[in-house]
Structure 1
Amino acid sequence: MLGLSRLRETFAHTPRTLGLVWRSSRAASVTLGVLTLAAAVLPLGVAYVGKTITDAVVARDERAALVWVAVELGLVAALSLAQRGLALTRQLLGAKLSIDIHTRILDKALSLDLRHFEDPEFYDQLTRARREASSRPAAVVTESFALVQNLVTLAGYAALLVGFSGLAVLALVVAAIPATVAEARFSGAAFRLRNFRSPDARRLNYLEYVLANDGHAKEVKLFGLGPMFRERYRALAASFYREDSALAVRRAGWAYGLSLLGTAAFYGCYGAMALGAAAGRLSLGDMVLYVAAFRQGQQAFQAVLSGVGGMYEHNLYMSNLFQYLGIPTGAPPALPDGGAAARAAGEGAAAGERGAAGEGAAAGERGVRFEGVGFRYPGQPRWAIRGVDLHIPAGQSLALVGHNGAGKTTFIKLLTRLYEPTEGRILLDGKDLRAWDVDALRRRIGVVFQDFNQYQLNLRENVALGSVEHLTDEPRVARAVSEGGAEEVVAAVPGGLDAQLGRWFKDGVELSGGQWQKIALARAFMREEADILVLDEPTAALDAEAEHAVFQRFRSLSRGRTTIVISHRFPTVRMADRIVVLDGGRVVEEGTHAELVARGERYARMFALQAEGYL
């Protein structure tokens, strides 16, 4: 039973892997199969022709000897061509397959939810999948075809050897088995070792990234962090080396010791063949044929068993890839009770088009509504937000205020469906967000997060990425640059919109934090169809005067749109039509700036503390 279980593990993922290869390149797959069969059969012909040449020499038949030498030359040339063709096909197919597999890994990453990217276990899975993606699928293909090739060759040599002795065939088989069993065991040990230390492998990559990345260079040098991180890197890498070298030494020792069994079996049979030839029971040609058949058959059988061991190892690693590709993409959960009513209320609302956004929605239902919304991050016992009931009418500007960790950014993630509520529901124009097409929903929302990205692309693309469909729409890019207040940035950098930003590539220009922030704001304004604009601490890197100018412009450009602003600066906050104060994930206050100050509660205290800083 154990043997059958191991055999199933050995080839468990081979069919799926071969399916990937077939989809990657059918022509290369067929070519590989044809060349494999040729490379399997031709050595048998060479061995037989060698016997014939020897017999012709013994018989002093010069003409026959020359003819068979020419035949062997042709067979050897054909074998060399087949082998080189196999190597070339494997190389090209491997390169194509590597691109296709990496593309599948990236496609899978794009299909997953934000929660996956905030889960360390997911990163372990991703690391394991990417680590072997370049080599293992191609190795499975190579081993599979090589296995077929060696099996065909072995069958031919075994048929030849049976004419000499069935015991020779048995010796050929038995002598190679122990080494193969040991190899399979060490392959499993190596796989378990690499999987076990996936978190440490990611830590090693992170330390290398910190030591050799421009984003960390300033602090690493200023605080003298280099020696400490380098020592951690060296210690962790050294522990990897110790584990790998210990396993490699044991593996090599066992492989050498057990390979001597095969060598002993060969020379035992060789001696028997030599005695038979000396006694006249075998012709010299027969002895040459049987010696070649046994030697080549032994190598073919060892290659078969080694291939089986290799397939076992490759399939173990392929399980990582298929496990990653099999991660559920997290289809939107079923709507809770009342979902049908939400759908009915939102019937007729256009999916993502601003002009028809509220068509068919009940009066008073235009805008965003949170109903008993609570959310808890996966694996976390604490609620990020809880019991939020809030209506944001269409066209209203809302400011979210609260200490760090109060739930403000979580609020935005739920609104944009980066996460689904753990409890309650969120409606847009009377329709539950879970009933919306995600792409249509997100086209209606323009967002600038406080941790916005700085793309190592040219300036034009950094702006235009806000609406990929309009990447080459120059007038729209120009409007976005103007509305985001980034015109002076464009004027200041050599090359203007064509300037390469960042230091990763040649002639790149590094911007200040404030300049990057203006580019991010311009990127948000690229989404002209959006009727909901969200700014999550978008001006943190700007001085007070620049921030005031941005928000004055923002107010004038966002008229008629629903706007949500998160900010710690009260001159900005007080511009909003309504202010909501979050604390501990709950709404604790709500009203205009004047109303909240008059109440003298949490908002008023925060306002007073900030005001003291200006006195």
Structure 2
Amino acid sequence: MLGLSRLRDSFAYTPRTLALVWRSSKAASLALGLLTLAAAVLPLGVAYVGKAIMDAVVARDGRAALVWVSVELGLVAALSLVQRGLSLTRQLLGARLSIDIHALILGKALSLDLLHFEDPEFYDQLTRARREASSRPAAVVTESFSLVQNLITLAGYAALLVGFSGLAVLALVLAAVPATVAEARFSGAAFRLRNWRSPETRRLNYLEHVLANDGHAKEVKLFGLGPMFLERYKALSASFYREDKALAVRRAGWAFGLSLLATAAFYGCYGAMALGAAAGRLSLGEMVLYVASFRQGQQAFQAVLAGVGGMYEHNLYMSNLFQYLNIPTSAPAAALPAAAGADARASEGRGGAALPAGEAAPAPAGDAAAGERGVRFEGVGFRYAGQSRWALRDVDLHIPAGESLALVGHNGAGKTTFIKLLTRLYEPTEGRILLDGKDLRAWDPGALRRRIGVVFQDFNRYQLRLRENVGLGSVDHLEDEARIALAAARGGADEVVAAVPGGLDAQLGRWFKEGVELSGGQWQKIALARAFMREEADILVLDEPTAALDAEAEHAVFERFRSLARGRTTIVISHRFPTVRMADRILVLDGGRIVEEGTHDELVARGQRYARMFALQAEGYL
């Protein structure tokens, strides 16, 4: 049962892998199949011709011998050409497949939710899927075709050997089995070892990243962290080496010992054939044919069994890839009630249209609450997977269209989680969020996010040209020079454009040649400009993106922001109260709950949490 189970597991993912290969390159797949068939048949012809040459020599028929030698030359030349063709086809197919598999992995990553990327177990899965993704799918294909090739060749040699002795065929089969079983066991052990240490592999990669990345170089040098991290890297690498060495030594020892069985079987049959030829029961040509058939048949059978073992190992690794590709993603809009889906489609139709300054998007129709404009949180709670503490709880809130809202609270109070729920980077654990009276889950994600412009505190610093760093705020307008220039001016990045060599065409960052590194404040202006690229957005969110600016510069940014965003819904997170007090309404979050709300003057007058926070910050400026 164990053998049948292992055999079944050896080919569990082969059909899906072959389907990937066929989609990747039909022509190369067909060429591989035809060349494999030719490579399987030609060695049989060479072996038979070898017998004919020997018989002609024994008969002293020189002309026939030369004819057969010429035939063998043609067969060997054809076999060499086929083998070269196989090598080239495998190389090209492997390269094409590697590109497609990595694109598949990255495409899947794009479809996953933000929560996946905050889960260490997901990163282990991703590491396992990406590991050897370049080679394993191609290896499955190569091994599959080689298996067919060796089976055909083996069948031919077995048919030839039956003329000598059925026992020789039995010896051919049985002698190679123990080594193959052992190899399959070691393949499984190697797979389990690598899967088990996926978290440590990520740790090793992280240490390498810290030691060789510009983002860490300053602190690594300043605090003298290099030797410590390097020692950790060496120690972890050494532990991997010890584990791999122990497995490799055991594997090689067993392989050598068990391979002697196959060698003994060959020479036993060789001796019997030699005795038969000496006694006159076999012609010299037949002896040569049978010896070649046994030797080549034994190699073909060992290749078949090794191929099954290899397929077992390859399919174990392919299971990692397909398990990753099978990670469930959020339900699409079509899975929601029909009315909601219709509203989502209606909203999508207007999602990409630019809005005039100061004008918000119209509300979709078809629901009892559709007349309500703005954002509504109804009993919203959110808890991270595996956590008992709620990041947000019991949030009931209406943000009318066009209102300016500020969120304040200590770190970890739930402010950024609030924004991620609004932008549907997270789904609420309980309750629901509505935009213009419709559940966010009813909106097409693309249409929803086109209505929202966001700048997070940890915004990205793309190692691209300045114009691209701004233009990525609206990919559809990446080539719109006027729109990029206007967005840069609105975000205050026109000063950066004027200051750096090359202007909008300047390469930013130090990763590539002639790159210009910006200050923290300059990068933040680029990020703000990126948000202003989204002219159609009627909800604008700033999540502490100006933390690196001084208080005066931040105040100027928000003054500009408030002026440009007039008539749109704005949500601002900031620790600086001169900025916060500009908002129409302020929410104070603590422990994931709304504990206060009102205008700045109202909250100061109440003398509670907000007033204490304001007083403490005011003292810092005295």
Superposition TM-score tier, normalisation by shorter sequence: over 0.9
* 1:56 and 2:56 matched: yes
Specify whether residues 341 and 53 from structure 1 end up closer, same or farther in structure 2 by C-alpha distance, changes over 3 A only.
Answer: closer
Secondary structure of the residue aligned to 2:434 is strand
In structure 2, the partner of 1:591 is: 598
Answer with 369-378 or 34-43: which moved more. Answer: 369-378
Alpha-carbon distance in structure 1 between the residues aligned to 2:596 and 2:338: 32
Specify whether residues 120 and 425 from structure 1 end up closer, same or farther in structure 2 by C-alpha distance, changes over 3 A only.
Answer: same
Asked whether the 8 Å contact 1:351–1:437 carries over to 2, the reply is no
Asked whether the 8 Å contact 1:44–1:157 carries over to 2, the reply is yes
Counterparts of 1:209-220 in structure 2 under 5 Å? 209-220=209-220
Give the residue type in structure 1 aligned to 2:216.
H
* Offset of residue 13 of structure 1: 0.5
In structure 2, the partner of 1:552 is: 559
Asked whether the 8 Å contact 2:370–2:436 carries over to 1, the reply is no
- Cα deviation 1:393-451 (Å, max 9, x = unaligned): 11110000000000000000000000111111111111111111111110000000000
Asked whether the 8 Å contact 1:343–1:431 carries over to 2, the reply is no
In structure 1, the partner of 2:117 is: 117
* 1:471 and 2:496 matched: no
Pick from 362, 371, 376 the counterpart of residue 357 of structure 1: 362
* 1:487 and 2:494 matched: yes
* 1:462 and 2:469 matched: yes
* 1:366 and 2:373 matched: yes
Which blocks of at least 5 consecutive residues in structure 2 are unaligned? none
Alpha-carbon distance in structure 2 between the residues aligned to 1:317 and 1:137: 9
Alpha-carbon distance in structure 1 between the residues aligned to 2:561 and 2:239: 55
Percent identity over the alignment is 86
Secondary structure of the residue aligned to 1:133 is coil
Alpha-carbon distance in structure 2 between the residues aligned to 1:69 and 1:263: 30
- Cα deviation 1:34-70 (Å, max 9, x = unaligned): 0000000000000111111111111111111111111
Specify whether residues 188 and 64 from structure 1 end up closer, same or farther in structure 2 by C-alpha distance, changes over 3 A only.
Answer: same
In structure 2, the partner of 1:535 is: 542
Secondary structure of the residue aligned to 1:419 is coil
Secondary structure of the residue aligned to 2:497 is helix
* 1:381 and 2:393 matched: no
In structure 1, the partner of 2:247 is: 247
Structure 1: which 4+ aligned runs deviate by more than 4 Å?
A: 332-336, 339-351, 353-356, 359-364
Pick from 606, 609, 618 the counterpart of residue 611 of structure 1: 618
* 1:514 and 2:510 matched: no
Asked whether the 8 Å contact 2:588–2:597 carries over to 1, the reply is yes
Give the residue type in structure 1 aligned to 2:431.
G
In structure 1, the partner of 2:174 is: 174
In structure 1, the partner of 2:190 is: 190
In structure 1, the partner of 2:265 is: 265
Give the residue type in structure 2 aligned to 1:611.
A
* Offset of residue 548 of structure 1: 1.5
Specify whether residues 414 and 335 from structure 1 end up closer, same or farther in structure 2 by C-alpha distance, changes over 3 A only.
Answer: farther
Asked whether the 8 Å contact 2:451–2:539 carries over to 1, the reply is yes
Secondary structure of the residue aligned to 2:12 is coil
Asked whether the 8 Å contact 1:346–1:429 carries over to 2, the reply is no
Give the residue type in structure 2 aligned to 1:411.
F
* Offset of residue 371 of structure 1: 1.2
Secondary structure of the residue aligned to 2:432 is strand
- Cα deviation 1:574-594 (Å, max 9, x = unaligned): 111111110111111111111
* Offset of residue 270 of structure 1: 0.7
* Offset of residue 4 of structure 1: 1.6
Asked whether the 8 Å contact 1:273–1:287 carries over to 2, the reply is yes
Counterparts of 1:269-280 in structure 2 under 5 Å? 269-280=269-280
* 1:40 and 2:40 matched: yes
Give the residue type in structure 1 aligned to 2:13.
H
Counterparts of 1:353-432 in structure 2 under 5 Å? 356-358=361-363, 360=365, 365-432=372-439
In structure 1, the partner of 2:287 is: 287
Asked whether the 8 Å contact 2:488–2:529 carries over to 1, the reply is yes
In structure 2, the partner of 1:70 is: 70
Give the residue type in structure 2 aligned to 1:357.
P
In structure 1, the partner of 2:450 is: 443
* Offset of residue 391 of structure 1: 1.0
Give the residue type in structure 1 aligned to 2:376.
R
Alpha-carbon distance in structure 2 between the residues aligned to 1:348 and 1:393: 21
Pick from 442, 453, 460 the counterpart of residue 453 of structure 1: 460
Give the residue type in structure 1 aligned to 2:373.
R
Answer with 364-373 or 482-491: which moved more. Answer: 364-373
Asked whether the 8 Å contact 1:17–1:137 carries over to 2, the reply is yes
Specify whether residues 537 and 277 from structure 1 end up closer, same or farther in structure 2 by C-alpha distance, changes over 3 A only.
Answer: same
Secondary structure of the residue aligned to 1:101 is helix
Asked whether the 8 Å contact 1:351–1:436 carries over to 2, the reply is no
Counterparts of 1:494-509 in structure 2 under 5 Å? 494-509=501-516
Asked whether the 8 Å contact 1:499–1:508 carries over to 2, the reply is yes
Specify whether residues 582 and 342 from structure 1 end up closer, same or farther in structure 2 by C-alpha distance, changes over 3 A only.
Answer: farther
- Cα deviation 1:481-537 (Å, max 9, x = unaligned): 000000111111111111111111111111110010000000000000000000000
In structure 1, the partner of 2:318 is: 318
Give the residue type in structure 1 aligned to 2:551.
A
* Offset of residue 132 of structure 1: 2.0
Scaled by the length of structure 2, what TM-score is found?
0.96
* Offset of residue 332 of structure 1: 5.4
Alpha-carbon distance in structure 2 between the residues aligned to 1:371 and 1:342: 17
* Offset of residue 334 of structure 1: 10
* Offset of residue 357 of structure 1: 2.3
In structure 2, the partner of 1:204 is: 204
Secondary structure of the residue aligned to 1:400 is strand
Counterparts of 1:134-145 in structure 2 under 5 Å? 134-145=134-145
Scaled by the length of structure 1, what TM-score is found?
0.97
* Offset of residue 358 of structure 1: 2.3
Secondary structure of the residue aligned to 1:286 is helix
Alpha-carbon distance in structure 2 between the residues aligned to 1:333 and 1:533: 24
Give the residue type in structure 1 aligned to 2:18.
L
- Cα deviation 1:239-293 (Å, max 9, x = unaligned): 0000000000000000000000000011111111111111111111111111111
Secondary structure of the residue aligned to 1:530 is coil
Asked whether the 8 Å contact 2:410–2:590 carries over to 1, the reply is yes
Alpha-carbon distance in structure 2 between the residues aligned to 1:104 and 1:31: 24
Asked whether the 8 Å contact 2:466–2:505 carries over to 1, the reply is yes
In structure 1, the partner of 2:105 is: 105
Give the residue type in structure 2 aligned to 1:358.
A
Give the residue type in structure 1 aligned to 2:172.
L
Give the residue type in structure 1 aligned to 2:287.
M
Secondary structure of the residue aligned to 1:390 is strand
CA RMSD of aligned residues (A): 1.8
Asked whether the 8 Å contact 2:402–2:569 carries over to 1, the reply is yes
Specify whether residues 436 and 333 from structure 1 end up closer, same or farther in structure 2 by C-alpha distance, changes over 3 A only.
Answer: closer
Asked whether the 8 Å contact 2:379–2:396 carries over to 1, the reply is yes
Asked whether the 8 Å contact 1:38–1:82 carries over to 2, the reply is yes
* Offset of residue 330 of structure 1: 2.2
* 1:526 and 2:538 matched: no
Asked whether the 8 Å contact 2:49–2:68 carries over to 1, the reply is yes
Specify whether residues 481 and 59 from structure 1 end up closer, same or farther in structure 2 by C-alpha distance, changes over 3 A only.
Answer: same
Alpha-carbon distance in structure 2 between the residues aligned to 1:346 and 1:608: 46
Aligned length, in residue pairs: 613
